[in-house]
Structure 1
Amino acid sequence: MAEASVVRTWLLLARTWTRAAAQYPMGLTMMTVGAMFSTSLDLLGIIVIFTHVPVLGGFGPAEAGFLYGAAQLSFAISDLAIGAADRLGRHIKAGTLDTMLIRPVSPLVQLATEDFTPRKAGRIVPAGAVLAWSMSRLSLSPADVALTVLMIANGAVLFSALWVLSASAQFVLVHGHEATKAVTWGGVFMTQYPMSLYGRDFVRAVTFAVPLAFVNWQPSLYILGKPDPLGLPVFVRFLGPVLTALLCLVAALAWRTGLRHYRSTGS
């Protein structure tokens, strides 16, 4: 019941902000197109690479497109849902978090929907198009397609947990807004490329410490029939939901601890 209430509140606030943004249709359209264009810049870089090399880290164009599309789509969904939460530090400095705390709505929901705009959905379009193109070029079974859908959903939840963790860190690192983006925005940039391009120690870190490898890399190795450069057993490919659930618990604990120890600015 509590979860359903949170979702209803999020939808209500998101709808309110969307109606406000729709009062300026031309501006909303231009910003949406801009979001689509900015997302496509990274893809342009990958295309340029493949004009010079036929294989990137053991992955062909369709396989690399699969990684890119899955990572970007998961991130775009999470950014749309809760990405605005990383503005927490600004509210702490301005004293406006105090106002959120006295309202009968979760402050996290208020942060997540603040200035909500459908323009963020523009990031979903190119990511979805690339993923659809790559899947049409790959020999995927119905089970592989189902696993792809689950992978994207799990990746979106994983990124959402990282957004909450990044926001929670700002209870301590009030000026750490830009630094925390290294985990969220830096995470999607890293996961859109084959991890076989990175050093083994780095890949271990994003597999066992911050489980970004489970956004798309580990599941994709199974779907695409690729060997794991680290030589990990096959069952590791399916640990994404477990590690994501653990990360969500850590994020929830960090958020509640931050709120519990927060001291009003007195403004």
Structure 2
Amino acid sequence: MLDDLKLWVRLLATAARGRMQYRVDLFFQILAMALTTAADFLMVWVLISACGPTIGWTLAEASLLYGVVLVPFGIVQFINAGFERFHDLVRRGQVDLLLLRPRPLLVLVAGEDLPVRQIGRLAQAVAVFAWALWMIPLSMGDCLLLGWAMAWGVVLYLSFDVIRAASAFWTVEGSEMWNVLTYGGSMAAIWPAEAYRPVLRTVLLTIVPVAAVGWLPVAQVLGKDHGFPAWVPWLAPTSGLVLSGLGLWLWTIGLRRYASSGS
């Protein structure tokens, strides 16, 4: 396990060095990503200004939720891009070459790429989160709950990527469909669940549990009435563990049934 972790770090470092060869281009890519994601926060700002009093959330509170959701998402987008490209690897027959290497395919795919431009997404989310922490006084227990939720948020979004990659063993044309789960899920999670109908809120808490690692813990630390016992916001983020198990199971089953492309 430790050797695999070291290999993953070395692969990412190699990918990063390749990206750093064109530093001016990389700078503008990072800037463009930061500005693009800033537009998402601008939308939150506008809608909270208009609808915030109706659902009982201020801009600072919505910013805290934004950070709790998108900092983990940004981390995963930065370190886990190989799984996004896995459908293309299968289509081009490059998986066969990876299988020849005496290392777990999961590790090799995870280290396939490091999109440094995603630093822009992550930095923007961190900036919003830091501003929210400055605006809202939180206790040590509140900070622990948010940190706990964000750690499990990383696990959850990693699990989404593994599930999406595993689907390539059955079909190489379904990558766009899974964007609804990853990008769509993260965008749905940055909004307070009070803005959704009960049925959709239940879906976001259970089936696609992005609200379980975002809205529920944040509502707890802000003293919002979320309708659950106080221990549930601590337990709910571990739903990422269930999905990670599902993702690894699908990956194992898919790898067993994988037929070589003949390359």
State the one-letter code of the partner of 2:214: N
Identity of counterpart residues, as a percentage? 31
CA distance in 1, matches of 2:185, 2:251: 20
C-alpha distance in structure 1 between counterparts of 2:129 and 2:54, whole Å: 17
Q: How does 1:146-165 map to 2 (within 5 A)?
A: 146-165=144-163
Aligned residue in 2 for 1:220: 218
Q: Amino acid of the residue matched to residue 229 of structure 2?
A: P
Query: Residue deviations 1:153-206, cap 9 Å, x none?
Result: 111111111110111122213100100111111111010111111111111122
Query: Could you say what secondary structure the match of 1:170 adopts?
Result: helix
Partner in structure 1 of residue 110 of structure 2: 112
Please report the TM-score for the alignment, with normalisation by the length of structure 2. 0.94
Q: Is the 8 A contact 2:145 2:234 kept in 1?
A: no
Q: CA deviation at 1:52?
A: 3.3
Partner Cα distance (1:162, 1:189) in 2? 14
Residue deviations 1:11-36, cap 9 Å, x none? 10111111111111111111111111
Contact 1:56/1:194 (<8 A) preserved:
no
Match of 2:232 among 215, 236, 240: 236
Letter in 2 for 1:89: H
| Correspondent of 2:29 among 20, 31, 38 | 31
- d(CA) in 2 for partners of 1:191 and 1:68? 8
1:45 and 1:6, CA in 2 relative to 1: closer, same or farther beyond 3 A?
same
The partner residue of 1:131 within 129, 132, 156 is 129
Q: Which of 165, 168, 172 is the aligned partner of 1:167?
A: 165
Structure 2 counterpart of 1:34, which letter?
A
**CA contact 2:48–2:62 (8 Å) conserved in 1:** no
**Residue 93 of structure 2 corresponds to which residue in structure 1?**
95
**Aligned mate of 2:252, from 251, 256, 260:** 256
Q: Which runs of 4+ in 1 moved over 4 A?
A: none
Deviations 1:109-145 (A, max 9, x none): 2222223132212211110111111111112112212
Return the TM-score normalized by structure 1: 0.93
Amino acid aligned to 1:200: P
- SS of alignment partner, residue 55 of structure 2: coil
The partner residue of 1:194 within 185, 192, 195 is 192
SS at match of 1:157: helix
- What count of residue pairs does the alignment treat as equivalent? 263
Residue aligning to 1:245: 241
| Shift in Å, 1:214 | 1.8
Unaligned runs of 5+ in 1: none
